[in-house]
Chains A and B, each alone.
Chain A
């Protein structure tokens, strides 16, 4: 962002709503990383820090009854879809009060009440499933849309190809959001992918494809809005490639030897949340005090959620055997005891 006014910017409420979502993501991430570093909690964590603007960009366009599918690197998407903080933190910590009673964990957060339908740990697998949500909306004649998030690496797996083609053939109301952070695990995109821009792949399916600077919240908001509108009005799917950077490598503890130090330093210096905050103030969309107040409120909500999660019990031992099937007779489980 620069300090120049943007004629393409949305109204002030939307601008602030995006800031609030970004702040939730950034501050949740910072809290969780500090708890991990101090050894207060232990979990496998794929930080989405740096990618906040993308989720906020689609988040403000969606209704509660729209569907979202995401991946292990999903905290930002969970928060952008409105999964409540307490239940989300409790799920991350494997507590009985979590969204999934602690049985899914961060890699499988589900909260249908918020429209967060599936979080998968299998690269690319959410793409075909998202089509099913789109198909359900299409068959029911509703105008619900589905946003499915995945990484650049996921566009090299077969499920992406099958899913993109089916969505195009059936004109499904699905927005395919590739959060291109330039790496898949320890491999830079240039070593795994034959095109410079993921959006080029859309042409192969007869689907519109667009690349946007995913660190530019206004541009991202605009592109997401067009894609959501297309899907909602029966115009079919869109592939959106939002280019960004992951600040903390693949997962916490990653030594990041395979990443260029200067590149990472530059990306972190251009922190999109920090730049957006400055832009809001510089262009008089908000005062410093107003933004600080949003951040304080988010921080207080996180304090509350962390305390709630830490004070919550682990699931009861009997939960091991529930939720395998709907009818949980001993016969269904056939010796589930072992």
Chain B
């Protein structure tokens, strides 16, 4: 019988990699500074090199193209590499390997070669890291057919989605919002053992009847908080956590919005051309006649991430922004 435990997100991610490496000798990790004695800049890989060896927890030079390229080649040759790109903004340095190679190789080879690799990357604003260490760039990958994208919102999902990602036969971009790693307010129950969370299956975090909030990652928690506030005003919100963007659970979204007739999409990435634009567009295409209000989008300001704490706080969407967006649907 597996017994529920409360864990922090960083620990849950660590446990997923530990389990995967124990299960399958073809799984290995590579990235900058991920081995002991430091265990990674965020300590997410703590202890893994001591347990599994430096040949399987490989410290690399500061060479993002070389990291992702090596992961791609090894993946084609039958391994299941988990590459760490320290901060998501650095994805820009190796985007060629991600979008032109990892994502396209199955298609270009007519299915003869596959790239079962994961790129784990930490992301998100709120830490005071400024414009080049804080961005949410998941749509880089969403716009590259051939790579899957997961953005967990809970420790259990972080573990379960990462296990699924590692054993998936296609490349996966796995986005970890760094604010969640070691913050107790994001702690949660995590099942023991190899418990996987499927891709493309949204979680209904809260049932509701008046409006559907659709989100992923850390902002799911903000949606839940907004729903709580709105409930006091008599507005009943359903909260859908997409968990994965490629694939995304279109059926769950359409089913819910079909019932509530109102939708607000929420994410930390900048609003313009964010994943919410796709969601909004698809909802309008499918449910136009049934909607009681236009779909509202809530995302970060269309600016680089500012440094000053007041500006950074204004940049990121807040619970108040979500409440206001819901109110706009209530006319």
Query: A residues bordering B, Cβ < 8 Å?
Result: 67, 69, 98-104, 108, 110-112, 117-118, 120, 122, 125, 127-137, 139, 146, 158-159, 162-163, 165-166, 169, 322-327, 329, 331-335
Contacts and interface: CB of A to CB of B under 8 A. Distances in A.
Question: Which 7 residue pairs across A and B have the least CB separation, nearest first?
Answer: A132-B73, A128-B69, A136-B77, A100-B110, A101-B110, A110-B109, A162-B66
A133 B107 contact: no
Given A125-B65, A327-B169, 17 more contacts: A99-B109, A103-B108, A108-B109, A110-B110, A118-B105, A118-B113, A120-B101, A131-B69, A134-B73, A136-B74, A166-B61, A322-B111, A323-B109, A324-B145, A326-B168, A331-B251, A334-B246
5 contacts: A101-B110, A112-B76, A131-B70, A135-B79, A162-B63
B2 interface: no
B200 A169 contact: no
B76 A158 contact: no
Contact of A132 (B63, B77, B246): B77
Interface in B19-77: 28, 55, 60-61, 63-66, 68-77
Contacts of A128: 63, 65-66, 68-70, 72-73, 97
Nearest to A117: B76
Q: A108, A110, A133, A146 — which one has the most chain B CB atoms within 10 A of its CB? A: A110
A332 B81 CA distance: 22
Nearest to B63: A162
Interface in B192-225: 200
A325 B101 CA distance: 14
A263 B207 CA distance: 76
Contact of B74 (A122, A139, A331): A139
A169 B73 contact: no
Nearest to A172: B70
A314 B26 CA distance: 37
Contact of B73 (A102, A129, A322): A129
Contacts of A131: 66, 69-70, 73
B78 interface: yes
Nearest to A315: B110
B112 interface: yes
A111 B70 CA distance: 19
Contacts of B146: 324-325
Interface residues of B, number: 49
B247 interface: yes
B248 interface: yes
Contacts of B28: 139
A110 B74 CA distance: 16
B54 to A, nearest CB: 11
Nearest to B104: A108
Contact of A163 (B66, B74, B109, B248): B66
Contact of A117 (B55, B70, B96, B113): B113
A323 B111 contact: yes
A323 B107 contact: yes
A322 B113 CA distance: 13
B253 to A, nearest CB: 11
Contacts of A132: 69-77, 81
B282 interface: yes
A169 B66 CA distance: 12
B255 interface: no
B114 interface: yes
A169 B59 CA distance: 11
A166 B110 contact: no
B170 to A, nearest CB: 5
A159 B77 CA distance: 20
A329 B251 CA distance: 13
Contacts of B61: 162, 165-166, 169
Q: B73, B81, B97, B249 — which one has the most chain A CB atoms within 10 A of its CB? A: B73
A326 B28 CA distance: 21
A146 B55 CA distance: 20
B267 interface: no
Interface string B235-257: 00000000000111111000000
